[in-house]
Copies of this chain bind each other. A is one copy, B any other.
């Protein structure tokens, strides 16, 4: 029997029908690259969403989104403060080193893979203003975090305030930004705070091959356009990427899909409160369990990743079936 109930990754989920439909509709001759009408519409779509002027670029992956955004903020001789378990540090195959030309990731602590002003200061304050030490040029946080934790608006605001004090731009990795918004119940503007750029995730949320970088400072977007081409990320049929992003953003699908995924995660978490490694605030559920327990779950048809030796990670998606989530909840409760 193969895996029938998949909680491996939201990356593995299907593409939402509305995304398919938008892509189909985009299949007509158009100006290549980002000269088409759909690509041109992205700035307006995000400006509307965030209630302020935005400049937005599509790219194929979250890694490219994060690194291109940061490359507009960080000189090669500088550094980026991020969490020790941030995606840019752990899972991008050294892409920040490539895109930032050797700039340094400066690793900060924080519960649930979330930074705090204090944990950022712990990194910043010991750095002498001295050429022997790499100087910080930016801060990057992840909303929701790598452990599915959401920054509250006040938390973001406090970090942004510190960033402003120190003259550091703020980047938000929002691969699961939609999940954070759905959980927080706040506006996207509150959930991103006064950041300078946001990697706005779509692929994990029902998209296929498109993410967006949203720049709240248009001057950065102008640099990013050159960097995107230089990184081989300016696709000639960009209209198919723009179509995906617009299908997500213009209709509110981004939030609906994330809400569904979050609900499934909550259903799973409901029965296993005592085993949870982290409060569930997005679409990821980290559950303490033994190898034998994991084996038994797999035998029952559940797919997921081990998380170290003593835990498992379950990820829900926009299309997780309620019965699968409940089955998993039940199975976890029965462990």
Contacts and interface: CB of A to CB of B under 8 A. Distances in A.
Interface string A113-156: 00000000000000000011111000000000000000000000
Contact of A6 (B15, B29, B63, B97): B29
A218 interface: no
A186 interface: no
Nearest to A135: B226
Nearest to A134: B94
Contact of A93 (B27, B29, B133, B223): B133
Interface stretch (A236-244, A246-254, A260-268, A272-280): A236-244
Contacts of A77: 93-94, 98, 223, 226-227, 230
Interface in A203-236: 203-204, 208-209, 223, 225-236
A6 B30 CA distance: 9
Given A9-B32, A237-B208, A232 B64 contact: yes
A112 interface: no
Contacts of A288: none
Contacts of A99: 232
Contacts of A68: 232
Contacts of A96: 102
A103 B105 CA distance: 12
A65 B232 CA distance: 8
A95 interface: yes
A33 B14 CA distance: 14
A94 B203 contact: no
Contacts of A8: 31-32
Given A76-B98, A103-B97, A236 B29 contact: no
A11 B32 contact: yes
A59 interface: yes
**Considering residues A24, A100, A237, which has the most beta carbons from chain B within 10 angstroms of its beta carbon?**
A237
B31 A233 contact: no
A32 B65 CA distance: 18
Given A75-B223, A237-B203, A237-B208, A27 B12 contact: no
Contact of A131 (B11, B75, B234, B235): B234
B240 A209 contact: yes
Interface string A166-207: 000000000000000000000000000000000000011000
Nearest to A107: B107
Given A11-B236, A12-B32, A92 B229 contact: yes
B14 A31 contact: no
Give 8 closest A-B pairs by Cβ, nearest first: A97-B102, A64-B232, A93-B229, A11-B236, A63-B232, A131-B229, A11-B32, A101-B101
Interface of A: 6, 8-9, 11-15, 20, 24, 27-33, 59-61, 63-65, 67-68, 75-79, 90-104, 131-135, 203-204, 208-209, 223, 225-237, 240-241
Given A9-B236, A132-B229, A209-B240, 5 more contacts: A59-B232, A61-B232, A77-B230, A93-B133, A100-B102
